[in-house]
Chain A
Amino acid sequence: MKVALFASCVADQLYPEVARSVGRVLRHYDCELSFPPSQVCCGQPALNSGYFAEARRVASVLVDALADTDYVVAPSGSCAAMVHHHYAELFRDDPKRGAAAERLSSKIYEFSQFMVKVLKVDRIPGSFPHAVTFHPSCHATRLLGVRSEPLSLLSAVPGVELVPLPHAEDCCGFGGTFAIKLPEISAAIADEKLRHVSGTGARYLVGTDLGCLMHLAGRMQRRGMAIEALHIAQLLDRALGAAPEAA
């Protein structure tokens, strides 16, 4: 199965270890993984701020970069939702990229969605013997419809003690450019989320989206909290690393 990794600009530049984890986990499940090097960003920062021309300019690079592959996997529900939700409309009047943009919309998956829906993964070898709590990111759940997939993956990891997060479905306050346009509100929303997170007693805060995790981890660092933010691919990677056959 030919799978292209769309790392996202955030994972590429700030969290390459997440992209590496995605790669290792997908290879473990026999995916033939490629990283088309001309990819950059999905264009969401511009689109969500109303700059459609700039968004289209950035998105067209991605449409071209990811043209020749069966599947595209992104470690971010938000980026996948951007492609899935907006690309067809963004390139409707583009004779050159219209069809490719539509194809891309239907072949892009968020990582946990791909693991469960396409690879049908229902058990993970190895172990991760820790208490973790999971924050479902809004674009993954509400725009992409990814709700049960990450939870079923986490429950499939031996050793994981999944502590339910109260008000889990509430936004973390990131919101892309919202985080810098109205930073006081953004931080207030994060603080309420983190109050719930620390109330779970979990050591790890797991998520599917690096934007949200970067925001929450940065806030936790500022506030001196000892909980580690982890992308779900990192957790699965660590679990697999502890599996006997990988040792």
Chain B
Amino acid sequence: MQIDVDERDLRARARAALDDGFLRGAVGFTVDRLRGAKARSTEALGDWEAWRERGREIRAHTLQHLDFYLEQFARAATTAGAHVHFARSAEEAQSALLRIVREKSARRVVKSKSMLSEELSVNHVLERAGVKVVETDLGEWIVQLARETPSHLILPAIHKPRAKIQALFEAQAGEPLSPDTATLAGFARGRLRQEFIAADLGITGCNFAVADTGSVVLFTNEGNGRMVSTLPKTQVVVMGLERIVPSFEELSIMANLLPRSATGQKLTTYMNVITGPRRAGEADGPTELYVIVVDNGRSRVLGDREFRDVLSCIRCGACLNVCPVYRHVGGHAYGSVYSGPIGAVLSPLLDPSGAHSELANASTLCGACFEACPVKIPLHDHLVQLRRRNVEAGLTAPAEQLAFRVYGWLFSSPFWFGILGRLARFLERWLGYRHSQRLASRVPVLADWLRFRAMPRSPERAFRDSRREKGS
């Protein structure tokens, strides 16, 4: 199934989102609840700042020695009986996955939630190969049925009203369904149960990979990850190469940081630790386990001193929940798999084609994202650094480049700056406030200010001029 691609620019997508009253109401309501829950669960932990610092240290240390830990992980996982593949690009990951699917003659695939699988367009690739693939996280399934992409890292269907979900499920059921939660969730549970049983291959993501034991760790709240990783005969894990933690000791810190930051839970409802396939005498689990370790731009970010710590991200979504921009436009306006502040930083880094370069502007630089981040990624600084790189690469509009050249010149000269101010005040007095606002609304930069806000009335004279006259 092809996902519909949004070709509009950021501002046009944002405008459309702002017109969607339901979207804004639902996103605002939900992120407020998550923020409240996060505040309560992190306060309960005591010194949250110390936890954040510990989280940052663990991630920085792991990234610093990633080659060592990745090798350790691959060796341990192989010893435990898993097949480990490394994929440099999305294409390599896709063909590795297709090879496994064909080898196993898999016709029906179930998936648990994985943002990396979105990045790799796994569903699209499998469907084109004639394989039926079903998302089993409730939100992901809704989004799949609607032929959309997730609009939040952990709440993919945050933007979907109940009535739309009801209609999507009715189309599946072939009969009318009552819109109450119990009926809709019950229908999904029944239908997905059949899919779990019929599937011959399961695909999961990977929240953390433990280097010294070769374990893959899944955090889920619906239990679907456990079904996907136990019922089908074959399990394929797709993991970003930065998902590593050295040992269970560090995992225990992450097991606190991630759910508390994401949903305000003390622990995730289901935490699966998968070390190799089913062993002799075990009652369940796949007979074959494949792990595809995906680079797809990550090693380039790792080698970029300015942006390396972006790979520290543990995909909790806390930065989305506090972002004033995300709050009003939701995830789809970002036009990339990853949305919110982390998406605005990560998307252009993973895909340096320039397709996501304007996302660096999708921020007020308020810094709420940094404050919320459990591993202390300075996203607000990274957004400025990305803007600088856009300027250096000549990606900004010529008119903007000119405007800033003029700014650099005028605002570095007290004399000409003073003249400019006097000229503006003279114009306003001569035309009158009302007319000068009308005139200003024809000047490009001022126009975008004036469409939504009035300009302050000019004072009699500037502070610098009044001081000169008084001789002080």
Contact = CB atoms under 8 A, between A and B. Distances in A.
Interface of A: 7, 9, 11-17, 19-20, 35, 37-41, 43, 45-55, 57-58, 60-61, 138-139, 142-143, 169-171, 173-176, 178-190, 192, 214-215, 217-219, 221-222
B404 A12 contact: no
B15 A184 contact: yes
A183 B448 contact: yes
Contacts of B408: 46, 51, 53-55, 57-58
A180 B391 contact: no
A32 B292 CA distance: 67
Contacts of B411: 9, 40-41, 43, 58, 61
B412 A61 contact: yes
A138 B367 contact: yes
B196 to A, nearest CB: 41
Interface in B431-472: 445, 448-449, 451-456, 458-459, 461-464, 466-468, 472
B391 A49 contact: yes
B40 interface: no
Contact of B467 (A37, A50, A176, A219): A37
Given A57-B409, A142-B370, A178-B365, 9 more contacts: A20-B463, A35-B472, A50-B360, A50-B391, A50-B392, A54-B407, A142-B366, A181-B448, A183-B449
Contacts of B456: 14-15, 214, 217-218
Nearest to A41: B411
A16 B368 contact: no
Nearest to B472: A35
Contacts of B407: 45-46, 51, 54, 58
Interface footprint category on B:
35 or more
Interface of B: 10-11, 14-15, 18, 24, 28, 324-325, 327-329, 360-368, 370-371, 384, 386-392, 396, 400, 404-405, 407-409, 411-414, 417, 421, 424, 445, 448-449, 451-456, 458-459, 461-464, 466-468, 472
A51 B368 CA distance: 23
B421 A185 contact: no
A175 B363 contact: yes
A50 B412 contact: no
**Dominant secondary structure of chain A at its interface with chain B:** helix
Given A12-B463, A180-B445, A50 B384 contact: yes
Contacts of B458: 14
A15 B461 CA distance: 10
A182 B361 CA distance: 8
B454 A178 contact: no
Nearest to A138: B366
A70 B413 CA distance: 24
10 contacts: A41-B411, A49-B391, A51-B404, A53-B408, A54-B405, A142-B368, A176-B365, A182-B361, A189-B324, A218-B453
Report, nearest first, the 4 A-B pairs whose CB atoms are least far apart: A175-B364, A218-B453, A50-B387, A54-B408
Contact of A221 (B364, B453, B468): B453
A176 B380 CA distance: 14
A188 B328 contact: yes
Nearest to B387: A50
A184 B11 contact: yes
B333 to A, nearest CB: 9
A16 B462 contact: yes
Contact of A51 (B328, B365, B366, B391): B391
Contacts of B455: 218
Contacts of A185: 14, 18, 325, 328-329
A179 B404 contact: no
A221 B454 contact: yes
A140 to B, nearest CB: 11
Nearest to B445: A180
Nearest to B396: A50
Nearest to B415: A38
Contact of A9 (B368, B388, B391, B417): B417
Nearest to B420: A13
A46 B366 CA distance: 17
Contacts of B392: 50
A39 B414 CA distance: 7
A7 B463 contact: yes
Given A49-B387, A49-B404, A50-B388, A171 B364 contact: yes
A53 B413 CA distance: 15
Contacts of B391: 49-52
A182 B366 contact: no
A9 to B, nearest CB: 7
B364 A54 contact: no
A175 B365 contact: yes
Nearest to A175: B364
A12 B324 contact: no
Task: Tell which of B370, B411, B414, B445 has the most Cβ of chain A within 10 Å.
Answer: B411
A61 B387 CA distance: 23
B85 to A, nearest CB: 39
Nearest to B393: A50
B418 to A, nearest CB: 9
Contact of B452 (A55, A192, A219): A219
B130 to A, nearest CB: 42
Task: Tell which of A48, A54, A187 has the most Cβ of chain B within 10 Å.
Answer: A54
Contact of A16 (B327, B361, B396, B459): B459
Contacts of A170: 324, 368
Contacts of A184: 11, 14-15, 18, 452
Contacts of A186: 364, 452
A11 to B, nearest CB: 6
Contacts of A60: 412
Given A14-B456, A16-B463, A57 B366 contact: no
